[in-house]
A and B are shown apart, each in its own frame.
Chain A
Amino acid sequence: MSDQTYVTKDPRGPVTQLATPMRLDYLFTAGLSLSRNLRGYQRAEFVGQKCPVCGKVYVPSRGSCPVDGVALTEEVPLKNTGTVTTYCVVNVPFAGQSIKIPYICAQILLDGANLSFMGLIQECDVEDIHMGMRVEALWVDEADLVPSLASVKYFRPTGEPDADYETYREYL
């Protein structure tokens, strides 16, 4: 058998690769800390958690301060508004993409938080986005609220004057 080679008569030649799309569904156990955060999304609220040692406010929180290694116990309600610290304009298509390209993907530092997270910016021309832009969250309709960031439809400019660079430079 070992020195026999199978010759295909198919004009396309032998099969060298087979695409086998796969799907993995996870049951995600959020844990106590992240649950508080996710429940907040279900109420259309950002819930931060404050470190009892350094006083920094994390959103979303995983339950502990990575710097001090202590549990975050105090909940801090955060506003709907924040500042774009930095961003990129995504113009690349990929499998499973749900947003029309080009779109703005920004790091948003919510007012009162000490950690930025990635958010979609809409109602803003890709030409107009810039660092320091003030934005607000737009939530999905009440009936559609879920315990995930999917409850945030997107962020949009508030029209306020830009935040001063010094207010967010340490979050870059």
Chain B
Amino acid sequence: MAERVAVIGVGQTYHRSKRDDVSIAGLVREAAVRALEDAGCTWDDIDAVVIGKAPDMFEGIMMPELYLAAALGAVGKPMLRVHTAGSVGGSTAVVAAHLVAGGIHQRVLTVAFEKQSDSDAMWALSVPQPFSAPLLAGAGGYFAPIIRAYMRRSGAPLDTGMRVAVKDRLHALKNPYAHLKMPDISMEKVEESVMLWDPLHYLESCPSSDGAAAMVLGSEKAAAQAEASTGRRPAWVHGMAMRSEPTMFAGRNQVNPQAGRDCARDVYAQAGITNPREQLDCAEVYVPFSWYEPMWLENLGFAPEGEGWKLTQSGATSLDGGDIPWNCSGGVLSSNPIGASGMLRFLEAALQVRGLAGEHQVEGARKALGHAYGGGAQFFAMWVVGADRPE
């Protein structure tokens, strides 16, 4: 990485199932304004805007970045759109960070959003094609068979997913921005909820949210100015990477995809991490369906293959006493504005190492992982951020 990159400001909306008080432009602007305020800068200070969202089919607005340029102060400035399905929030942040790392810009505003109430994602994901049968019933229908394969391979206890569903909703109670607030969440409640895509219960699945996330990424100089004017320290990017693989090929490991393993290896090498469970203080990982916590624990090297569920079962990933808390914000299981969900992981990781996560802060967090995945678990984006400026 040529130039050091810092997260100097972050902003997000209060995620809800329906924000009918704002249009998409109003939604993204809300997050962007909060990020600018946090960074102590104005629209004029921004050199470029990098924006991402899930496929245009969702809201039915083609190339929404064109009409959002005005709302995001991008008129007359470089603006770039990123497309990597559900992982897009993470990829968008990485692309924006590259513009700073490459020495091109001093401050880049990066934004991601989804307005699911304007959209029918289930329909958009179930388009008939001549070479496939129209059976999918949304993302859950795609991932449930892969989850079943994980259960078979690992022999994980059947309540593993339910534990994640409860834990992440308890975490969400500490995050004012989280969409789902379920103070009475319990294993019984999850088990009693409708089996939507057997083996996945309703409460083991993410909600549909309206929301946006934004970050101001800056150079070393911009970081120093932001800290001097706001008194809030930045988060430093220690490593970032993206990887992808085809959805279908013979011998593809769908449970533990190679692209995810390769992406993690790359980002850890950049950040000097050899043992993620020990060297990271927390992680914000894209878990839209409960069972993806144990699966990604293995894919990201926090546990050996087949043993991720042991960490979940032992409480290791809980903010309440766990040694490696995952998704202290409540994660995707508690707020899912699809395009923004990946950026929220990156943003929450930055909040943790800045010490600004409030009630869901991991005490003394110095290094955190932000992770996003998308498509048929084929697109991956990750970064490791730290409280210390990298050498």
Contact = CB atoms under 8 A, between A and B. Distances in A.
A146 to B, nearest CB: 8
Contacts of B20: 16-17
A28 B130 contact: yes
Nearest to A114: B250
B253 to A, nearest CB: 8
Given A56-B250, A86-B146, A92 B196 contact: yes
Interface residues of B, number: 42
B21 to A, nearest CB: 8
A133 interface: no
A169 B253 CA distance: 10
A58 B250 contact: yes
A22 B62 CA distance: 13
Interface string A14-48: 00110010100000101000100110000000000
Interface string B108-130: 00000000011010110010011
A147 B255 CA distance: 32
Interface in A136-155: 147-150, 152
B135 A99 contact: yes
Nearest to A117: B132
B70 interface: no
B254 interface: yes
Interface in A146-172: 147-150, 152, 165, 169-172
A99 B141 CA distance: 14
A149 B132 contact: yes
B136 interface: yes
A54 to B, nearest CB: 7
B202 to A, nearest CB: 9
Interface stretch (B148-156, B214-222, B323-331): B148-156
Interface string B230-256: 000000000000000010111100110
Contacts, number: 129
B149 A85 contact: yes
Contacts of B136: 105, 118
A85 B153 CA distance: 12
A95 to B, nearest CB: 5
Contacts of A51: 250
A94 B135 contact: no
Contacts of A22: 60
A86 B141 contact: no
B140 interface: yes
Contacts of A102: 198
Contact of B131 (A38, A97, A106, A114): A38
A80 B195 CA distance: 31
Nearest to A126: B198
B133 A56 contact: no
Contact of A91 (B117, B129, B149, B195): B195
A96 interface: yes
A41 to B, nearest CB: 8
B55 to A, nearest CB: 13
Nearest to B246: A66
Contacts of B133: 118-120, 149-150, 152
Interface of B: 20-21, 60, 117-118, 120, 122-123, 126, 129-138, 140-141, 144-146, 148-149, 152-153, 194-200, 246, 248-251, 254-255
7 contacts: A66-B246, A66-B248, A91-B194, A91-B195, A107-B145, A119-B135, A152-B133
